[in-house]
């Protein structure tokens, strides 16, 4: 049997009451080239009573305090996107599946329903790039449902989008207003002068990355944390341990020349560095991230112990505040120049953004997973919370080609 969902036509969910009509700026961080993408993910819930109706009404209520989300992205000046607060609303799709969640293996990979069927799209003729957020509720025959979300990275980072969806959850559970009061304040973030780009435009190589999913147990994480503390008398985080495992295992598996550079990058939150810059940091839902990059030779990573690689990652994080403040003051850090070659891997940590805490009145999701995994010009690893009640971290790997995949996974599991 083939499994599929049947979608209703998209409808606009408008704010339930009138909202300001204005054009408001995005911040200098929002407008960086890396943010001009749409992020797609699915949250799976095991049960829900009329979830599509309930969540639709909750969106309409949440869009009043979060009225910019009901607007559209516009570009009156080329290269300077803004938000036009039109109050048009978000595109909302209701869909029914011809199967239970069990039939499709609880949406584990490989997906048995194409992701395109579970994600929202605006009607034909409506410009996709202008949308800020869209939602689709997929109901299954077992009474479970899955929420497909597509949001513009120009307007939110992951933590900001989760904050908005938690507000929708607050409304769905009958609260009179969101627990966290939204803050726009994009104009408060400094707009440092642009450093002119020099040199030829980057060249892209399309790689044939394969997708693998691996679980890293809590025991493994804690054992390596303890080893680091024993050897250094310092503490390290779950992120530090897993990122070091990835960096080391991948360098060994891809077998580049000893002198070849391997590069690891991740977006670090800078919310803690914006106290005193923003009127209030709590409630701010714009982009508060800054890229961190670590460059080593293949030999340096291969010959280093896991504890030493964890130290490399901690050092890079420690340098973040200096680099970010320098950037805000107009420093010339060319931090967005990511080497697009096989030696590069980008880490995206979804395990602590807050999407797993969104409760529409039926409890927290059993599983949340991102779907931006069709990038083929740079290797990417996503960190996810595994489906409940499992603990640890689930890795979605899309960063090596077929010939290196088995060894990469084997190396990871040795830790």
Catalytic-labelled residue, pool 130, 191, 333, 359: 359
- The architecture in CATH of the region 209-352+360-414 reads 2-Layer Sandwich (3.30)
CA 332 centroid distance within chain = 27
pLDDT value at residue 329: 82
pLDDT value at residue 202: 65
For residues 333-353, average pLDDT = 85
pLDDT value at residue 403: 97
pLDDT category, 401, cuts 50, 70, 90?
very high
* Nearest-10 crossing angle of helices 238-254, 218-232: 100
pLDDT at 219 over 90: yes
Q: Rounded CA gap, 324 and 28, in Å?
A: 13
Three-state DSSP class for 79?
coil
**pLDDT tens, position by position, 140-179:** 999 999 999 999 999 999 999 999 999 999 999 999 999 9
pLDDT above 90: percentage of residues in the chain = 86
pLDDT value at residue 32: 85
pLDDT value at residue 157: 96
Residues in the chain: 415
Catalytic-labelled residue, pool 153, 157, 170, 349: 153
Phi, psi of 21 (to 5 degrees): -105, 110
pLDDT above 70: percentage of residues in the chain = 96
Helix, strand, coil in percent for the chain, rounding step 5: 30, 25, 45
Q: Rounded CA gap, 288 and 268, in Å?
A: 8
- Say which CATH class 5-188 falls into: alpha beta
pTM for the model stands at: 0.95
pLDDT at 334 over 60: no
Three-state DSSP class for 409?
helix
pLDDT value at residue 372: 78
Quote the mean pLDDT of the chain.
94
As annotated, the residues of the chain forming the CATH 3.30.559.10 domain(s) are 5-188, 209-352+360-414
pLDDT value at residue 200: 65
CA separation (Å) from 351 to 168, 175, 395? 20, 26, 10
Any catalytic annotation for residue 359? yes
Residue that has been written with the tokens 């799709």 in this structure: 93
Q: Provide the CB-side half-sphere exposure for 205 (13 A, CA).
A: 12
**pLDDT tens, position by position, 272-324:** 999 989 999 999 999 999 999 999 999 999 999 999 999 999 999 999 988 88
pLDDT value at residue 325: 85
pLDDT category, 38, cuts 50, 70, 90?
very high
pLDDT category, 35, cuts 50, 70, 90?
confident
pLDDT value at residue 195: 59
**pLDDT tens, position by position, 185-217:** 999 998 887 655 556 666 778 899 999 999 999
Selected residue with higher pLDDT from 253 and 340: 253
**pLDDT tens, position by position, 100-129:** 999 999 999 999 999 999 999 999 999 999
pLDDT at 87 over 70: yes
């Amino acid at each position: 049997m083939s499994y599929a969902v049947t979608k209703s036509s998209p409808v606009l969910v408008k704010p339930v009451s009138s909202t300001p009509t204005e054009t408001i700026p995005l911040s200098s961080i929002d407008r960086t080239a890396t943010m001009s993408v749409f992020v797609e993910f699915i949250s799976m819930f095991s049960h829900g009573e009329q979830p599509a109706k309930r969540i639709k009404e909750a969106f309409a209520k949440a869009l009043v305090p979060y009225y910019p989300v009901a607007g559209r992205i516009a570009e009156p000046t080329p290269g300077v996107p803004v938000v036009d607060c039109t109050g048009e609303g978000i595109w909302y799709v209701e869909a029914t599946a011809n199967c239970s969640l069990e039939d499709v293996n609880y949406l584990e990979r490989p997906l048995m329903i194409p992701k395109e069927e579970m994600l929202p799209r605006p009607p034909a003729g409506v410009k996709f790039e202008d949308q800020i957020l869209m939602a689709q509720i997929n109901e299954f025959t077992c009474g479970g449902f899955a929420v497909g979300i597509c949001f513009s990275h120009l307007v939110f980072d992951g933590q900001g989008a989760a904050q908005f969806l938690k507000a929708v959850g607050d409304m769905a559970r009958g609260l009179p207003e969101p627990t966290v009061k939204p803050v726009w304040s994009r104009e408060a973030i400094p707009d440092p002068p642009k450093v002119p780009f020099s040199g030829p435009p980057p060249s892209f190589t399309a790689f044939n990355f394969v997708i693998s999913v691996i679980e890293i147990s809590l025991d493994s994480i804690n054992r390596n944390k303890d080893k680091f503390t024993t050897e250094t008398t310092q503490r390290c985080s779950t992120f530090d341990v897993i990122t070091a495992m990835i960096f080391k295992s991948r360098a060994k598996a891809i077998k580049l020349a000893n002198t070849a550079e391997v590069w690891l990058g991740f977006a670090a939150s800078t919310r803690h560095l914006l106290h005193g810059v923003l009127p209030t940091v709590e409630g701010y839902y714009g982009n508060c991230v800054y890229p961190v990059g670590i460059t080593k030779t293949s030999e340096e990573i291969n010959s280093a112990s896991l504890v030493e690689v964890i130290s490399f990652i901690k050092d890079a994080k420690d340098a973040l505040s200096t680099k970010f403040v320098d950037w805000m003051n107009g420093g010339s850090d060319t931090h967005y120049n990511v080497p697009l070659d096989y030696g590069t891997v980008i880490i995206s940590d979804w395990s602590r953004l807050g999407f797993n805490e969104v409760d529409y009145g039926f409890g927290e999701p059993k599983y949340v997973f991102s779907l931006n995994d069709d990038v083929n010009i740079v290797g990417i690893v996503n960190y996810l919370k595994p489906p409940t009640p499992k603990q640890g971290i689930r890795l979605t790997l899309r960063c090596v080609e077929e010939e290196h995949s088995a060894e990469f996974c084997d190396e990871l599991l040795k830790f």
